[in-house]
Structure 1
């Protein structure tokens, strides 16, 4: 089971990331400042770091710089401010493996985590998810019903992935919003219901069950 270090000082975002990673089968550890983050990163106990830039004690750029100076090749996914091209360029030039701009969708973050772990030869979760005759190929991001490929948008695929990964479990609309649309999405939106309708049309009406008063479930 891969261990992920999350260095993020905003409690709401840190909790959002940690809960999501745990649900996906990873083991997250959260710290809230750069100095502690650097010390943890150098412990050799982690497979990847999710690193915020705006940290107290030591900012994310400095953490990244010191890691590389110490010879650490640990993959780092940097969280940058919204639309900050300067932060993005600086992070990549400083040795980051990838970056995410805030606000972000959890499904995209976890896909990037898996990609970076795979590229470093770390153990990752199964590349296929199945439910009945529906199969999702996580590597190519393609969906199939039986042998027939079905075209899904990025959001449709992310929603299908979350539901199938947690098959047998009823997920609330709020949980699905957080995983697929991000932590700052309007909780009053009916976008989940709309996209469940899209999945039923494309992957079969029986795939997703409505759980009255709760949300949705894939059996």
Structure 2
């Protein structure tokens, strides 16, 4: 049984989602405000948070950033009526793992929750992966650049391991979503692009002047990790 926090200020939606999630065997705490959500998060570990960005008291993006601090291991899925790309990107960059646009289809919601709670990880390599000044130790899940450790979010790490397992090889978007998220994933893959962009940024910030592989976008196909040089 997973411990879920639902943050939703609409009473009708909150009751409907709470009942549906409970019927699927989850332990649900429903909070209608951002402050209530943060109080709940401070009381104990959570597996997943469904976070409405349009809250009456606090900005949902700010709540997301705080949840990333208090609940670093929890999956955060945004629920938003804001379907503009920039709103979604801002939320994902604030620390959310995924998003759903309201009105939420219950079948898709439950499929996404199952996918995230499986926490499928990229298949580990036989040993450490070294590409120039970048080193990945899959046994300890550590990433270093020129000997200094780089902090990555779970999906960023898993994406890097998956791409680094076949340096120079083109990897389809569908393959990355299947192996890093879930084989039954459906819906938008925009979250993949945002995680790739965040991964590029973190490596660039950690490795100024270092010899690092490049994550290349293959339009209409996917991504490729090119070894340095």
2:55 corresponds to: 55
1:182 corresponds to: none
The count of residues paired between Structure 1 and Structure 2 equals 127
| Aligned partners of 1:79 and 1:101 also within 8 Å | yes
Cα gap change, 1:119 to 1:35, in 2 (>3 Å) = same
Residue 79 (str. 1) matches residue 79 (str. 2): yes
**Structure 2: runs of 5+ lacking an equivalent:** 122-181, 188-229
Cα gap change, 1:31 to 1:120, in 2 (>3 Å) = farther
Residue 118 (str. 1) matches residue 118 (str. 2): yes
With structure 1 as the length reference, what TM-score do the two structures score? 0.53
Alignment of 1:6-25 (within 5 A): 6-25=6-25
Distance, in Å, in 2 between the alignment partners of 1:9 and 1:71 is 21
Distance, in Å, in 2 between the alignment partners of 1:53 and 1:80 is 6
1:5 corresponds to: 5
Residue 96 (str. 1) matches residue 89 (str. 2): no
Distance, in Å, in 2 between the alignment partners of 1:24 and 1:103 is 20
With structure 2 as the length reference, what TM-score do the two structures score? 0.50
Cα gap change, 1:13 to 1:71, in 2 (>3 Å) = closer
Displacement of 1:59 in angstroms is 2.0
Distance, in Å, in 2 between the alignment partners of 1:23 and 1:84 is 32
Distance, in Å, in 2 between the alignment partners of 1:120 and 1:87 is 27
| Aligned partners of 1:82 and 1:103 also within 8 Å | no
Following TM superposition, the consecutive aligned residue runs of length 4 or more in structure 1 with deviations greater than 3 angstroms are: none
SS at match of 1:76: strand
SS at match of 1:55: coil
**Structure 1: runs of 5+ lacking an equivalent:** 122-138, 142-152, 155-219
Distance, in Å, in 1 between the alignment partners of 2:54 and 2:82 is 12
Cα gap change, 1:71 to 1:46, in 2 (>3 Å) = closer
Distance, in Å, in 1 between the alignment partners of 2:111 and 2:104 is 12
